[in-house]
Amino acid sequence: MTYIQQTISDLKHTSPAQTEFYQAVEEVLNSLGPLLESNDIYQKQAIIQRIVEPERQIMFRIPWVDDNGDIQVNKGYRIEFNSALGPYKGGLRFHPSVNAGIIKFLGFEQIFKNALTGLSIGGGKGGANFNPKGRSDAEIMRFCQSFMNELYRHIGPTTDVPAGDIGVGAREIGYMFGQYKRLTGRYEGILTGKSLLWGGSLARKEATGYGTVYFAEYMLDELGDDLKGKRCLVSGAGNVAIYAMEKLYQLGATPISCSDSSGTLYHHTGIDLKLIKRLKEGRRSDLVEYLTSYPEAIHTQVADYPENGHAIWRYAADAAFPCATQNELTLDDAQALLTNGCKLVSEGANMPSTNQAVEAFLEAGISYGPSKAANAGGVATSQLEMAQNASMQKWTFIHVDQQLKQIMKNIFISASDTAKEFGQDGNLVLGANIAGFRRVADAMIEQGVV
């Protein structure tokens, strides 16, 4: 058994039943072979064993009262994974699928994603198994306040700065920030993704979607190509997907799909983005209502999806942007995309492709932007929000967007150059993993055994 295999085996013993976490760890560690062979310092310093264990894991109950006066109880998490490069930074996810394994996989990915930005931020993640869908504003406020009653003890502007994620937008951030201020008496930048009225950054809600498309453009530019005229499959219908579609249109491409919990929407002439924004404002409507305005579009319910995959990836397109959730793109989906002529995949969600799907993309030699590189624009802009809060300034949309574009370009160059350094030209998975790992690991070594 190799050193890496032994580490993964030990992890499965000490952290049982955390499938997504194992998947994220295996994806990173299996890329590190060339680096570990070239320098044994990482093994001597036990960096692998140290980096796969969070510095701190916080789990707590969240009691709250619904509109009927009934007491509800959810479970909350904050995984403070690694602070070698700066305060913990990573989103909060409110979704019924949340458990310890989900949060740990997200936190582990966040370490390297944040490292790739070149900014001074560590990796963390949090959330709760609460579903805001169908809940009143009053219920969401009471839940967020109860969540913050515990979380406030563990966060701070130089300690841990959470942001939003699935199920956590400006509304939820506002309720949590208000409760933090009430509990501590301090008005400080302890959350990002805030309203523009009180410390939020322009371009923050657009950042992950825009950044994913910028990364795709940089991949194509390396090949002497661009997105103009490309037909693109996009999954999801939240901020990431919506603003990925917006940027695709701005760059001359045509997004032809999106999806939500009700199913997949395909419109061969191009998605009406203004209508999608209206339908999804306040998370009110399912995508099936799109057919009222465009009966020629196709809506496939989840129950009718292919047995081993997702309907959205079975349409012909030039490029794919998975922007919904983890493991939404399977091996069968990857093979369907390749068969139908897809030449580029840029990931807007966290770990949306299974490891088998990733292997298929790499073997086919298409342009593939892994999530820790391609969707880092959101956390990068969160750090820009932190910088604005610390300096009590507010930057223009253009200024933030220009910085976002440069950060995404730097990430692409770092991943691409590292892949070339280890004889794997074009393998951005290996390049991103080694570049991110090396920055964190070297910082850990310099800071001692802590």
CB 423 within 8 A of CB 34: yes
Q: Which of 125, 247, 280, 372 is catalytic?
A: 125
- Phi/psi of residue 283, nearest 5 degrees: 55, 45
Q: Where are the beta strands (DSSP E) in 99-188?
A: 122-128, 160-164
- Count other Cβ atoms within 10 Å, centred on residue 116: 29
Report the half-sphere exposure of 443 (CA within 13 A, side-chain side).
Answer: 19
3-state secondary structure of 350: coil
> Any idea which residue has 């994974």 for tokens?
81
Distance (Å, rounded) from C-alpha 343 to C-alpha 323?
Answer: 17
Distance (Å, rounded) from C-alpha 276 to C-alpha 283?
Answer: 11
DSSP for 237-266? -SHHHHHHHHHHHHTT-EE-EEEETTEEEE
Catalytic: 125? yes
Cα of 44 vs its chain's centroid, Å: 32
CB 115 within 8 A of CB 86: no
Distance (Å, rounded) from C-alpha 224 to C-alpha 311?
Answer: 31
Q: What is the dihedral of CA 124, 127, 133, 137, to 10 degrees?
A: -100
- Count other Cβ atoms within 10 Å, centred on residue 392: 8
The token duo for 157 is 């502007």
H runs (alpha helix) in 422-448:
428-446
DSSP for 345-371? EE--SSS-B-HHHHHHHHHHT-EEE-H
b (16+ CB within 10 A) / e for 80-115: bbbbbbbbbbbbbbbbeebbbbbbbbbbbbbbbbbb
Angstrom distances, CA of residue 167 to CA of 123, 161, 181, 320? 20, 18, 22, 23
> Which one, of 298, 201, 281, 301, lies nearest residue 238 by Cα?
281
Please list the active-site residues.
Answer: 125
